[in-house]
Structure 1
Amino acid sequence: MSHQKFKECIEACLACMEACNHCFDACLREEEASMMADCIRLDRECAEICSFAAQAMSRNSPFAVEICELCARVCEACGEECLKHDRVHCRECAEACFACAEICRKMVVAA
């Protein structure tokens, strides 16, 4: 698959990475940040795998499909955790995570 065919997935991964980084930072500033520990942890995991997936796709890695499969799983886990919290940044993060997971799965099927 060429870099151009990965374009939508790369963009979704980068948007998700940005949303997760924002959520991570906002969660750390919550009054009771310790209650957000799982969200913070998954935000970091998700941002990292999204960044890695975007890089893998941009260089046409032979492992891009497998990396995107894992990325979709991590995005879903992060999105599910974010839905547990009634914070705007968590809701926005969940939306980005679910969108990224869906696009990653579509790309995997198309590969």
Structure 2
Amino acid sequence: MAHEKYQTLIEKLHACMAACNHCYDACLEEEDVKMMAGCIRLDRECADICAYLEQALVRNTPFASELTGVCAKICQACGDECNKHDHKHCQDCAKACYECAEACKQIA
């Protein structure tokens, strides 16, 4: 199957989406939600692009290079924002985002 060549990236995308969704939800429970607004916003952006790209790769999109380039930028930005916060969910999310960004860059 065509998507098998993207299997590692698909796994990274799924892990990143899950970490971002968890971080998003946990940020909403933080005491100072306003301080977490940037993190929450980027968590949503990142989770959405990762979910879309995962689906697109499975169906063998002809736009893999372009989409992975965009995804890498969003994952990097989300990782950078999450890395500013000491919460475990933010640090776990940053790690997943950075790993996904690197995997995307290899295809882009």
The answer for the alignment partner of 1:29 in structure 2 is: 29
In 2, the alpha carbon distance for the partners of 1:62 and 1:107 equals 12
In 2, the alpha carbon distance for the partners of 1:68 and 1:106 equals 9
TM-score by structure 2 length?
0.97
In 2, the alpha carbon distance for the partners of 1:68 and 1:53 equals 7
How many residues get paired? 108
TM-score by structure 1 length?
0.94
Q: Output the aligned Cα RMSD.
A: 1.1
* Structure 1: gaps (5+ residues): none
- Work out whether 1:81 is the aligned partner of 2:81: yes
After superposition, the C-alpha distances for 1:14-49 in whole angstroms (9 at most, x for unaligned) are: 000000000000000001111100000000000000
* Structure 2: gaps (5+ residues): none
SS at match of 1:78: helix
The answer for the alignment partner of 1:97 in structure 2 is: 97
In 1, the alpha carbon distance for the partners of 2:71 and 2:64 equals 10
Paired-residue identity, %:
57
Q: Judge conservation of contact 2:64–2:107 (CA < 8 Å) in 1.
A: no
